[in-house]
């Protein structure tokens, strides 16, 4: 029952991911045709500069005019792997207007303009798929949107940035400081020359916005995501984590409130117990832990980036979108019907590990404990260490709101006996 | 754009899973309607015996005549959670004939008659979905059939039976023997009164057949799956595993051969390194590790059984099938186009850990090593331990075919100096 007219694919971008998509489309053409029910044909490749030899790609297909390519009218699917906001956004909406469905790997664009893009897709009766935008090859968007469509997701807890996980894993296993571990990541190609997007949590925040939107059927904008990078995590923090039976990971956390009416999304470094499945995610791997009412605890693990893994996710979407074209259907679009309130960081409730440098004299603990009590933050454990007139106080709290904790810390800083707040780290996954 | 005529669902079976499906359909009715685009209505529940009060289910819906229910003609989706071969098989084919699509959790039936059921679904233009048949709530069928549809899967390595994982984890962590760990599993409700299907690997073999078929786009019958239970795993085996830096798991392993033209599927206990992500899967949890060309290594982890987790998977399928009904499309059917040869166990290539009881005298090692060499099985390491005229020899081989290893063991048993083969264990996941 194979249809012989091929489905035509336009590829926007031919870098690390795009060239791998093109390669697999060629080498696995027979498999793709069998799985789709029709052959797929690379009909055009838009690049920034022509003239460069691109192995396995017919030079006649290559163009610098991406707009003309998506306007051709005979394109079935546009694969967008350019990244960034413009021109990707305009090209995608133009593609919908000219009858194509779209597969994208563009997390920044989806996080910022997902709602508008979904609306454009729906207005034209086309598909918008983007499995590759979050956690590379790991099937995550499809399981959340489809496999768990009959369940109620309460929390998504993920390591969604490989660069920072590589750095933190290195600090954990070798005792290295942040800069030393970053230098190694850069030397090995795990971190870019300008690592800001990774280490400051921008990349993870975009993914958190996408995941929260899908998990809670609620529109979550990038601005709704609290973001804290991991550049200030120290070797001392790792020693503290070890004493707690924990390690430190940069986590993207999307949570439904206890009463179910609101959600929060945030990215920050956090301690998690060594017994938690996320604790043993090593190197540049990603993993996402999902907690739902009926399914319970699920985890999805794999490579979060790289040309081949990302291409795998793109091609899975391409097969699905092509099947939909053949059957005349579209896959699930944006689902934002629940329209829950997105609460600010102050409403987040979790536990905290706080290290204070204090004067080594009687009464300090009592003063500090009073401040916690006044702000309604209950203390779980306190450990005092003192020598030579200097002392440190490590406080681990029970669950409290981020607003209450912030108020506590502000008040602690005003105490004469508190010389400094050495670190504040949230404790998750318990 | 909500359609108001509800989609009608017939539920076959109302045990642990069925009652949970009915409960969630009621309590989450609004969510399901929003996600599907139309309300779903429980139109009938077939049970073996009526008269029992079923919380939340209108007694007027309950019937013992499952056949009449699937023949009604107004049913959109039949959810089959009876289990076993008959009457489930006939009811499912009857459902297709009368216009319904089917969601099933029936691993035994799918493993035995998947091809015929898929053919029946296709002949009538209906859907057959069965995410719940393998590894409970863990999204696995959908990721393999859809997310990885543009990739080439080379190996699936899974812990797909919670009962046996509970027992093996207990033996590993406490040093208990098999019987003691089984007794505890039974007392805690993790093992059934007759644990044969679990401990002899029948349950895992059915899942391996289903996974291999989907992963390799090839029909793999239950008879094609090599099966070895875990009742003979001893505390001594765990001590040997620890010396190797390994633990022991009952694994379902589906592999493509190096040259890509054939596949194998097998279930047996095996040593895996503690550093492998599957090694830390504790208690009754399941996890499946997938290796593919482009995506690399992926792992899917979660609860593999239980009423709620299985219901989560059933309901995810129900939402997908209902969406397909509304759009007039069907999801991906059976994909067996690759039609690869399914090779017997003798062709499997792996490493082996063999413990021999031998006479404690000079020349024994030379004799044993000669037997390995004659059968073309290369030795990686040998460890000798001797006392009081008795000695043991632990041999770990390089990769060799199962046929070559079997021949080696047969010849070893004939040596006068070999008093017994204490254990043979495959070593996987390296």
Q: Is the pLDDT of residue A386 over 80?
A: no
* pLDDT, mean of residues B124-128: 97
Tokens of B120: 């029946």
**Which A residues 126-185 touch B at CB under 8 Å?**
131, 137-139, 142-143, 146-152
* Residue pointed to by tokens 């997390």: A107
Tokens of B180: 């003691």
Dist. CA A329–CA B331, nearest whole Å: 10
Contact A258, A399 (CB under 8 A): no
The residues of chain A that CATH labels 3.40.50.720 are 7-137+307-327
Helices A162-174 & A178-187 angle (0-180, nearest 10): 120
The residues of chain B that CATH labels 3.30.360.10 are 160-302
Q: Is the pLDDT of residue B1 over 60?
A: no
Strand partners, B349: B401
Q: Is the pLDDT of residue A338 over 60?
A: yes
Residue-level pLDDT at A3: 66
Min Cα distance B123 → chain A (Å) is 13
**Cβ A131–B147 below 8 Å, yes or no?**
yes
Q: Report the C-alpha dihedral over residues A382, A387, A389, A395, rounded to 10 degrees.
A: -10
Strand partners, A78: A10, A102
* Residue pointed to by tokens 């939909």: A324
Q: What is the pLDDT of residues A239-284, one digit of tens each?
A: 999 999 999 999 999 999 999 999 999 999 999 999 999 999 999 9
Which SS3 state, helix, strand or coil, does residue A343 take? coil
**Cβ B137–A294 below 8 Å, yes or no?**
yes
Chain A residues with CB under 8 Å of B155 CB are: none
**Which one is predicted more confidently, A206 or A49?**
A206
Q: Do the strands A153-159 and A285-292 form a parallel or antiparallel pair, or are they unpaired? A: antiparallel
Q: What is the pLDDT of residues A207-232, one digit of tens each?
A: 999 999 999 999 999 999 999 999 99
H-helix or E-strand spanning residue B244: none
Q: Which residue from A28, A34, A337 is facing B34, i.e. has the nearest CB?
A: A337
Dist. CA A91–CA B53, nearest whole Å: 59
pLDDT-derived band at B2 (thresholds 50, 70, 90) equals: low
Q: What is the CATH class of A348-427?
A: alpha beta
**Which B residues 42-101 touch A at CB under 8 Å?**
none
Q: Quick one: closest CA in A to B318, which residue?
A: A150
Q: Which residue from B298, B302, B318 is facing A298, i.e. has the nearest CB?
A: B302
Min Cα distance A324 → chain B (Å) is 8
Min Cα distance A36 → chain B (Å) is 9
Q: Report the C-alpha dihedral over residues A250, A254, A257, A261, rounded to 10 degrees.
A: 160
Residue-level pLDDT at B13: 96
Contact B271, B241 (CB under 8 A): yes
A311 reaches B (C-beta below 8 A): yes
Min Cα distance A19 → chain B (Å) is 13
Tokens of B9: 């669902």
The residues of chain A that CATH labels 3.30.360.10 are 141-303
Q: Which of B28-42, B173-187, B355-369 has the lowest mean pLDDT?
A: B355-369
**Cβ A300–B298 below 8 Å, yes or no?**
yes
pLDDT-derived band at A2 (thresholds 50, 70, 90) equals: low
**Cβ A139–B143 below 8 Å, yes or no?**
yes
Q: Is the pLDDT of residue A4 over 80?
A: no
Min Cα distance A27 → chain B (Å) is 11
Residue-level pLDDT at B349: 96
Min Cα distance B305 → chain A (Å) is 10
* DSSP one-letter string for B137-200: TS--HHIIIIITTTS-EEEEEEE--HHHHHHHHHHHHH---HHHHHHHHHHTTSS-SS-HHHHT
Phi, psi dihedrals of residue A268, rounded to the nearest 5°: -165, 160
The residues of chain B that CATH labels 3.30.70.260 are 348-427
Of chain B, the percentage scoring pLDDT greater than 70 comes to 99
Catalytic status, residue A126: no
CATH code 3.30.360.10 for B160-302: yes
**Which A residues 317-336 touch B at CB under 8 Å?**
317-320, 323-324, 327-330, 332, 335
* Residue pointed to by tokens 């899975």: A316
H-helix or E-strand spanning residue A76: none
* pLDDT, mean of residues B139-144: 95
**Cβ A295–B313 below 8 Å, yes or no?**
yes
Question: CB within 8 A of A176, min separation 6: which ones?
Answer: A170, A184, A235
* pLDDT, mean of residues A335-357: 96
Cβ-in-10-Å burial (0-12, 13-18, 19+) of B291 comes to middle
Q: Is the pLDDT of residue A171 over 90?
A: yes
Residue-level pLDDT at B224: 96
* pLDDT, mean of residues B264-268: 98
Q: Is the pLDDT of residue B430 over 90?
A: no
Phi, psi dihedrals of residue A270, rounded to the nearest 5°: -150, 150
Residue-level pLDDT at A389: 72
CA proximity to A216, closest of A105, A402, A344, A342: A342
Which SS3 state, helix, strand or coil, does residue A317 take? helix
Q: Computed from CA positions of residues A204, A206, A207, A212, in that sequence, does the dihedral angle turn out positive or negative?
A: positive
* pLDDT, mean of residues B73-82: 97
Dist. CA A152–CA B283, nearest whole Å: 24
H-helix or E-strand spanning residue A17: helix A16-27
* pLDDT, mean of residues B158-181: 97
B interface mutation test: which of A130, A247, A275, A295 has the most B CBs within 10 A?
A295
Dist. CA B428–CA B158, nearest whole Å: 11
Q: Is the pLDDT of residue A111 over 70?
A: yes
* pLDDT, mean of residues A64-69: 97
Q: Do the strands B101-104 and B128-129 form a parallel or antiparallel pair, or are they unpaired? A: parallel
Q: Is the pLDDT of residue B304 over 70?
A: yes
**Which one is predicted more confidently, B363 or B301?**
B301
Question: CB within 8 A of A379, min separation 6: which ones?
Answer: A369, A372, A395, A396, A397, A398
Q: What is the pLDDT of residues A18-46, one digit of tens each?
A: 999 999 999 999 999 999 999 999 999 99
* pLDDT, mean of residues B19-34: 96
**Cβ B149–A316 below 8 Å, yes or no?**
yes
Which SS3 state, helix, strand or coil, does residue A69 take? helix
Count CB pairs under 8 A between chains A and B. Answer: 197
Chain A residues with CB under 8 Å of B152 CB are: 28, 31
Dist. CA B191–CA A37, nearest whole Å: 44
* C-alpha dist (Å) from residue A59 to A50, A52, B417: 9, 9, 70
Contact A248, A172 (CB under 8 A): yes
Q: Which residue from A34, A312, A330 is facing B292, i.e. has the nearest CB?
A: A312
Dist. CA A417–CA B1, nearest whole Å: 63
Q: What's the complex ipTM?
A: 0.93
3-state class percentages of chain B: helix first, strand second, coil last, to nearest 5: 40, 25, 35
CATH of A141-303, one of 1.10.275.10, 3.40.50.2000, 3.10.129.10, 3.30.360.10: 3.30.360.10
CATH architecture of A7-137+307-327: 3-Layer(aba) Sandwich (3.40)
**Cβ A35–B298 below 8 Å, yes or no?**
no
Dist. CA A39–CA B376, nearest whole Å: 45
Q: Quick one: closest CA in A to B138, which residue?
A: A298
Catalytic residues of B: 207
Average pLDDT over chain B, rounded to whole?
Answer: 95
Which SS3 state, helix, strand or coil, does residue B289 take? strand
Of chain A, the percentage scoring pLDDT greater than 70 comes to 99
């Amino acid at each position: 029952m194979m249809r012989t007219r091929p489905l035509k694919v336009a590829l926007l971008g031919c870098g690390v991911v795009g060239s791998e998509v093109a390669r697999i489309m060629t080498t696995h053409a027979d498999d793709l045709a069998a799985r789709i029910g029709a052959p797929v044909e690379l009909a055009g490749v838009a690049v920034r500069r022509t003239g460069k030899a691109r192995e396995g790609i017919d030079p006649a297909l290559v163009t610098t005019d991406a707009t003309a390519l998506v306007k051709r009218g005979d394109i079935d699917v546009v694969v967008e792997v350019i990244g960034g906001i413009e021109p990707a956004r305009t090209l995608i909406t133009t593609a919908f207007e000219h009858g194509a469905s779209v597969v994208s790997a563009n997390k920044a664009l989806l996080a910022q303009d997902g709602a508008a893009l979904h609306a454009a897709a729906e207005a034209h009766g086309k598909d918008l798929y983007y499995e590759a935008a979050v956690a590379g090859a790991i099937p995550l968007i499809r399981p959340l949107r489809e496999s768990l469509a009959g369940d109620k997701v309460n929390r998504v807890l993920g390591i969604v940035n490989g660069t920072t996980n590589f750095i933190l894993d290195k600090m954990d296993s070798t005792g290295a400081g942040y800069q030393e571990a970053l230098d190694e990541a850069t030397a090995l190609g795990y971190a870019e020359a300008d690592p800001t997007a990774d280490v400051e949590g921008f990349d993870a925040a975009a993914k958190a916005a996408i995941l929260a939107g899908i998990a809670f059927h609620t529109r979550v904008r990038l601005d709704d995501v609290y973001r804290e990078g991991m550049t200030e995590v120290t070797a001392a923090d790792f020693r503290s984590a070890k004493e707690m039976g924990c390690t430190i990971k940069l986590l993207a956390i999307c949570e439904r409130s206890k009463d179910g009416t609101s959600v929060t999304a945030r990215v920050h470094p956090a301690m998690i117990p060594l017994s938690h499945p996320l604790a043993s995610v090593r190197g540049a791997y990603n993993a996402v832990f999902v907690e739902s009412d009926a399914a319970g605890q699920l985890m999805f693990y794999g490579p979060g980036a790289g040309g081949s893994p990302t291409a795998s996710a793109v091609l899975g979407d391409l097969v699905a979108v092509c099947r939909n074209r053949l059957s005349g259907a579209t896959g699930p679009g944006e689902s934002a019907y629940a329209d829950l309130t997105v609460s600010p960081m102050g409403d987040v409730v979790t536990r905290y590990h706080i290290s204070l440098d204090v004067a080594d004299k009687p009464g300090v603990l009592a003063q500090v404990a009073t401040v916690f009590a006044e702000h309604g933050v209950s203390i779980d454990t306190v450990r005092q260490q003192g020598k030579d007139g200097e002392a440190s106080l490590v406080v681990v709290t029970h669950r409290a709101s981020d607003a209450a904790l912030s108020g506590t810390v502000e008040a602690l800083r005003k105490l004469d006996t508190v010389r400094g707040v050495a670190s504040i780290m949230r404790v998750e996954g318990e």
